[in-house]
Structure 1
Amino acid sequence: MQSAILPVLFEVLPRVVRIAAYIAVGVFAANLVVAFGLVERIAGLSRYLTSPANLPDEVGTAIVTTAASTTAGYGMLAEFRESGVLDDRATLIAVTINTFFGFVQHIFTFYWPVLIPILGREVGFMYVGARAAIALAITITGVLAGAVFLSDRSTAPVAVAETDGSGEIATADSVLDTDSDESVRATVEDAVRSTWKKLRRIVPRLAVVYVLVTLVLRTTDLESFTTLAEPLTALVGLPGAAVPVVVAFAFDTTTGAATIAPAIGETFTPKQAVATMLIGGIISFAVSTFKRSIPFQYGIWGPEFGSKVIAVNTALKVVFIAAAVAVLVA
């Protein structure tokens, strides 16, 4: 048993350390931006989203952060939820609104430098545009959901709770005086303590779930999920050659793009190519949810609320991807 677990630990450890580092950044930043009164400055543009959604301005800082790091953005939202700034319903809506901003960072790190050169300009821009439209539609859905389900909430700024973890909400008047070096030092020290307390709770849970999931992956044939490829491609009228592309795309986006690229213009029209890759994205949720989303979301939120976040994220993505595919093959 020990010989089976040790390799998994070595595989999981770097991933857990990397995620923990980003969470630490998000939690630490969440405490500082509120304690130093920076919410108003950072959340200015995002207020066009948070205000109609009846969310506090603090959520705007998480939105801005998500554009740079999804993990850090989630860390900030976790801190706001735990401190009482957000309840469960508001947190789910905030996570939904974050979707487009989480997508933005991938444009510069993956889509532009990797995927578009593989697919070519026309299909590459069509695919990235479709993914951007899907992400934006989910974000708008979050804003509309906030307008409806949080209509009884006040959007007045509410500071993060005291960083000693007491759970009591600080008022705007309690923001520390940053003119004093001693106050600045005390604020930073409080933020460090709060961050450390959260990491002590999150990281063990994150590590345990990742180890369990990795062990299951090594003993389970996840390729059985790809049996969905043929009926899905047939349903929307795609060529039979779409099946192996969908299977490849479901497990590795770059491989899937490289597989379909030579057939564009011959076997696939540009629209068919984009629809095929989007269907690959639908099937990949079954794999990526188990491999990445469950460990990550359970680590941050715990199993109960983490399951709700996964359910909302997955349902919205599948619905809007399906709608995009329907438009492309119409």
Structure 2
Amino acid sequence: MTLDIFFQALGNLEVLVFRILPIVVLGIILGNIIYELGLIDKISVLSAPIIKFANLPKESGLTLVTMIASPAASYSMLSNFYEREILDEKQTVVTTFTNTFFAYFRHVFTFYLPVVIPILGLKTGLIYIFVRIIISLFSTLFGMAVGHFYLNLEDSSLEFEDIGENRSNGTIKQKIIEGFKKSKPTLRKIVPRLTLVYVLVAFALVLDLFEPIGRLADPITTLIGLPGEASTVIIARFANVTASFVLAGNLLNSGILGSYEVIATLLIGSLFSLFTHFLKTSLPNKIAYFGTNLGIKVALYNWVISTSFILIITFFLYFLM
């Protein structure tokens, strides 16, 4: 039995070895090379309105743009800039607030349009996608507001100019080599932390330590006034996201739930899955990227913000049902 648990956990680590770690290493090295080559100005221009309003330096803009391509690479770059003291703690936290929309936007084309709309239908599917976009946009706007009123623009600009002097002045080849060299200290910190965290989570998943959270769904659906069948969608969300959409689509097509009830049910399911995601993925990952102190802050703050906006939108939908 013990060996079965061990091998199951080992199987869960394939994602870390073959997908997560390579992207993390690539993100850190690429971020340092871009920094040494002085390309941050050119790339971060895509996020210029956001970082300007939020009083964030251009390194933050680079991580925002990268988020569309790969969250792992984006957070790797962000943690690298933090470890090298290019970004301070406040700037790092605010950057994680503002990247929410970018993180969600990438899923619109890879999951929501090709998967959700065929399952829920054009009308309900588009409404759901629109609601999720609004929630992620609110989170980003909140981050921009926090940066605008909480961060000091003059200090941020000054700091950016000062750290620019730390870049190497050699040829392109020398700058690339310097980028690799400056990646080593960050990699020595992050890779062991990331590995340890994924090992612990892999065993927790095999032992079903997160399963009891799913039993909290029934009282919530009763409180909001959703049919009992809605709880099956919420429970399914813990096992598989696509499965929860398939169940919701079936309840919609059979007339048991209406469009807004389906959307509210899926949002409630996302609340519970967001909490399990916080425990299983977000908290461990952020600790691995930023260390215990800052990692807990980043994960907790972002969970509270996302949960708050989902609750607000769900409460609004309650009056439309």
Normalising to structure 2: TM-score of the pair?
A: 0.91
Superposed counterparts of 1:170-181, under 5 Å:
170-172=163-165, 175-177=167-169
275 and 4 in structure 1: CA distance in 2 versus 1, 3 angstrom threshold = closer
Deviation at 1:198, TM superposition (A): 2.2
- Cα distance in 2 for partners of 1:171, 1:287 equals 40
Q: Which residue of 1 aligns with 2:298?
A: 309
Task: State yes or no: 1:275 paired with 2:290.
Answer: no
Question: What letter is aligned with 1:290?
Answer: L
Identity %: 31
Question: What letter is aligned with 1:198?
Answer: T
Q: Which residue of 2 aligns with 1:81?
A: 82
- Cα distance in 1 for partners of 2:305, 2:61 equals 21
Alignment gaps of 5+ in structure 1: 161-168
Q: Give the conservation status (yes or no) of the 8 Å contact 1:209–1:295.
A: yes
Q: Give the conservation status (yes or no) of the 8 Å contact 1:54–1:154.
A: no
Normalising to structure 1: TM-score of the pair?
A: 0.89
Q: Which residue of 2 aligns with 1:257?
A: 245
- Of 303, 309, 320, the match for 1:320: 309
Q: Which residue of 1 aligns with 2:120?
A: 119
Q: Which segment is superposed worse, 250-259 or 5-14?
A: 5-14
Question: What letter is aligned with 1:170?
Answer: I
Question: What letter is aligned with 1:202?
Answer: I
Count of residues in Structure 1 that have an aligned counterpart in Structure 2: 317
Question: What letter is aligned with 1:171?
Answer: G
- Cα distance in 2 for partners of 1:7, 1:232 equals 33
Secondary structure of 1:170's counterpart equals helix
Deviation at 1:152, TM superposition (A): 5.7
Q: Which residue of 2 aligns with 1:186?
A: 174
- Cα distance in 2 for partners of 1:146, 1:129 equals 26
Alignment gaps of 5+ in structure 2: none
Question: What letter is aligned with 2:299?
Answer: I
Cα deviation, 1:5-37, whole Å, max 9, x if unaligned, reads 354234314424421222222222222222222
- Cα distance in 2 for partners of 1:7, 1:277 equals 30
- Which structure 1 residue ranges, 4+ long, deviate > 6 Å from structure 2? none
Q: Which segment is superposed worse, 287-296 or 40-49?
A: 287-296
Superposed counterparts of 1:196-215, under 5 Å:
196-215=184-203
Q: Which segment is superposed worse, 276-285 or 213-222?
A: 213-222
Q: Which residue of 2 aligns with 1:233?
A: 221
Question: What letter is aligned with 1:255?
Answer: A
Q: Which residue of 1 aligns with 2:136?
A: 135
Q: Which segment is superposed worse, 271-280 or 101-110?
A: 101-110
